[in-house]
Amino acid sequence: MISYRKIYIVLFLLNVSIVVLAASTTTFKFALVTDTHIGSLDNNEDLIRTVEDINSISEISFVIVSGDVTEFGSFEELKRAKDILDNLKVPYYSIPGNHDANWSESGTNDFLRVFGNETFGFEYKGYKFIGLASGPNMRMSPGQIPRENLTWFFDELENTSKETPIIYINHYPMDEGLNNWFEVMDALRPYNVKLMLCGHGHTNRAMNFEGVNAAMCRSNLRAGKEYGGYNIITVDSDSIYFQERIVTKETNTPWLAYSLSQKPNWVDNPPRPDYTINTNHPYASEVWSIQEESDMGSGMAFKNNVLYYTNTKGEIKAVNASDGSELWSYKTEGKIYSTPYVYNDLVWCASSDTYLYGINKDNGKEIFKLKNNKAVVSSPVCTDDKVILSGGDGYCRAWNVFSGEKVWEFDSVKNFVVTRPAVNDGILFFGSWGNEFYALNVENGKPKWIWNNGHTNRMLSPAQVYPVITNGRVYLASPDRFMTVLDEKTGEVIWRYNDPDNRVRESIGVSEDGATVYAKTMDGNIIAIDATLPERRIKWVSSGENMGYELAPTALVEKDGVVYAPTDKGNIYAFAASDGKFLWKYRISNGLINMILPIDNRELYVSAMDGRLVKLRISR
């Protein structure tokens, strides 16, 4: 006779063995490597050491590289990073960070070209890993997940069970440091998110985003010590824990552990962008709006009631300015960060696919496709029947607008160009990411003068500023927080000043009469400089409303006695040109404002980096 006690013992042991087997198959380790900043010998060596160290640990199943792979996002840096990472014996998954995107001479195309992606989604032992890029792309601002990444992300979630445990990765923390963090968080709320991972802060830190367990992980760099390091993350049946690994083969005790037994405890009613200002300041009202499926990284052009704009899907578009209806669309093979320029019957615009395009403004048909040697993220300008473009290959070129024949080229531009140039009295003015500012003769491309700001760090270059030329002087503002005024004819410095009380940075503009130069400060004010005088004199500082900490490099613009100020948070502000008094503000999105384009009849066109384009009507 069979003993029920024996049956119970057998079943109990069988159950235990199944649980143990399940635990053993669930447990796995992966490495989180972040902020490698490839571009210097020490940083390169740190990553080489890390790869060798990971290869010595047989338990590591794969590696995640969570952004700031390089220092400047150049092709050479990205290729060097991939060459090192390709020595890993296990799979690795990489996403770009702000250093890979903000100063990218290719408009972030090189990251795609080198690594094959800027997002990832894969499953491992029942877990879903999802990684997104973070930006900001080409413009200094808070981070921003590209709109095309979000579109991919939403589709990826559609194909994921809500019970599947998810580990989400971004270079940035999932908070207001990313201007569209809330779109990710809202999309993830129905899902079983176990962990969020980030870098960016270069340190190990326990975090929590709206009720979801999270961790910031240390940089791979040695940071003044002899050796760098990374994190080994272990996932078992009921917990996940983090160990810092120094590449001297030293694994520290866990510095953080989270239980996996419960679903996330989402916070109710977390902070979200506030649009009530649009009703509190009823002086501006929306006429129409467009939401692109990708980012918008440039400004617009307006002619004969047609608005021309671009997006990072590589499209040049024309819409009816009255109602926003599309008239035509032309697709290039790269991302576009170039502001279109309309001259005679053509729309001129450059793409990161290396070409400058001349498109029929009425039907969108390609007329010219002019080759550059590298990706172009700057904007063309037309004058004297020439279209002129300074790109990413060290050249500034001019072509005849009727024949497409090259007229001249200047071959000594240091580093790449990202701005819109200005033209005045037959001279072309623009800056580059090589700490230089150029004045070239429009007729033959010969330099009239070249000014160097004296810095060796290219991040301090006068590259993003749209230069102002008035009263024989050139006005610039740069990330070094200096406003610089140069003689238009000679390039000699008239004055150059760093005001600790009014810290300027790139965003400037000029009054309609040319008598006043406006500059936006990093502390959220506008200052008005008397442009009729050779010395520095502040006419007024804006009052009544502060815009908060500000980095957007977009130009200020005056129209009909109102100064319009862009922000990196999707707001536009209006101040009286006479005395700087605050008038009203309006939010079109939560992304950086690319351009404010006022026209007659109190109408404004405004585009934002997150792909939103809006027409506003102004009542004051």
3-state secondary structure 423-458: EECCEEEEECCCCEEEEEECCCCCEEEEEECCCCCH
Nearest to 389 by CA among 363, 425, 365, 413: 413
Count of C-beta atoms within a 10 Å radius of residue 371: 9
CA–CA distance, 131 with 124 (Å, rounded to integer):
14
Residue pair 61/124 in contact (Cβ under 8 Å)? The answer is yes
Nearest to 86 by CA among 51, 130, 36: 51
Residue 348 exposed, middle or buried by CB count within 10 Å (0-12, 13-18, 19+): buried
Strand order across the 306-310 sheet: 301-303, 306-310, 315-320, 326-331
Nearest to 309 by CA among 368, 367, 364: 364
SS3 278: helix
CA–CA distance, 14 with 11 (Å, rounded to integer):
5
Residue 341 exposed, middle or buried by CB count within 10 Å (0-12, 13-18, 19+): buried
Q: Provide the pLDDT for residue 19.
A: 35
Q: Provide the pLDDT for residue 81.
A: 96
Residue pair 430/438 in contact (Cβ under 8 Å)? The answer is yes
Residue pair 214/197 in contact (Cβ under 8 Å)? The answer is yes
Strands (E), 226-380: 229-235, 239-246, 250-251, 256-259, 284-291, 301-303, 306-310, 315-320, 326-331, 341-343, 346-350, 355-360, 366-371
**Bond from prior residue into 136 cis (ω within 30 degrees of 0):** yes
Q: Provide the pLDDT for residue 10.
A: 39
Instruction: Calculate Rg over the CA atoms of the chain.
Output: 27
Q: What is the CATH number of domain 26-259?
A: 3.60.21.10
Q: Provide the pLDDT for residue 233.
A: 97
Q: Provide the pLDDT for residue 20.
A: 35
Query: pTM (2 decimals)?
Result: 0.88
Q: Provide the pLDDT for residue 138.
A: 58
Residue spans of the domains in the chain: they are 26-259
Q: Provide the pLDDT for residue 137.
A: 67
Q: Which residues of the chain have pLDDT under 70?
A: 1-25, 103, 105-107, 137-141, 620
